[in-house]
Amino acid sequence: MAITTTKEEIIPYKALSIQVSLNGLSFCVLNSHTNTIEHLSKHESEKQLSPIEALQLLEKTIDSEPILQENFNSVKVIHENELSCLVPKALFSEENIADYLKFNARILKTDYIAHDDLKVSDCVNVYVPYVNINNAIYNKYGQFIYKHHSTVLIEEILKLEKNATKAKMYVNVAIHHFDIVVVENGTLK
């Protein structure tokens, strides 16, 4: 999902990627002209943060690191949480988007629910992004794209395994959750 902006003096070859979880944040600045990482930082919390505390950490970090105050060509936000589920495209209806999550996660009526189409699979990833984080990113940088971490994980694994014939299992371990992805013959199982 993209949001529009009117930012001036954008550096045409710098991209910012921010991964947001309730355990902390990570930032990566990529110079696409030289294909080098200019900045990589991780800011972890000893305790699980609330979305408001995660926002405060985001704002404090951006304010304290000069490289994060630049105007980037592109900004991508990756939301890492357990509030997601995969839905086959054939069964997906945007009108019923909350119904897909209510069996796997505790959601509130006020939660904003987003979805990512997995480009290399016949699935849709339905999830709850951190809206307060998205609003702060929009206010700071303007246009940006956001996705759920499992969308990125699955897409990268399926690209890697597109020609594989044997079944493989990948486990992505985080502090408070883990993801398991099983692929065979280049598709999810």
- DSSP letter string, 119-145: TTSSEEEEE---HHHHHHHHHHH-S-E
Q: What's the DSSP call for residue 2?
A: B
Please report whether residue 34 resides in a domain. yes
Decide: 78 and 17 in contact? Cβ < 8 Å: yes
Please report whether residue 170 resides in a domain. no
Please report whether residue 179 resides in a domain. no
Q: What is the CATH number of the domain that holds 19?
A: 3.30.420.250
Residues with Cβ < 8 Å from 156, sequence gap 6 or more?
none
**What's the CA gap between 166 and 174, in Å, rounded?**
26
The per-residue pLDDT string of the chain (189 residues; one tens digit each, 9 = 90 and over) reads 444 454 556 678 899 999 999 999 999 999 998 999 999 999 999 899 999 999 999 999 999 999 999 999 999 999 999 999 999 999 999 999 999 998 888 888 889 999 999 988 889 999 999 999 999 999 999 999 999 999 999 999 999 999 988 999 999 998 888 999 999 998 898
Q: Please state the domain count of the chain.
A: 1
Please report whether residue 173 resides in a domain. no
The distance of Cα 185 from the centroid of its chain, to the nearest Å, equals 26
Please report whether residue 79 resides in a domain. yes
Please report whether residue 181 resides in a domain. no
Please report whether residue 138 resides in a domain. yes
Structural domain boundaries enclosing 60: 11-161
If one counts every other C-beta atom within 10 angstroms of the C-beta of residue 71, the result is 16
Decide: 116 and 185 in contact? Cβ < 8 Å: no
Please report whether residue 2 resides in a domain. no
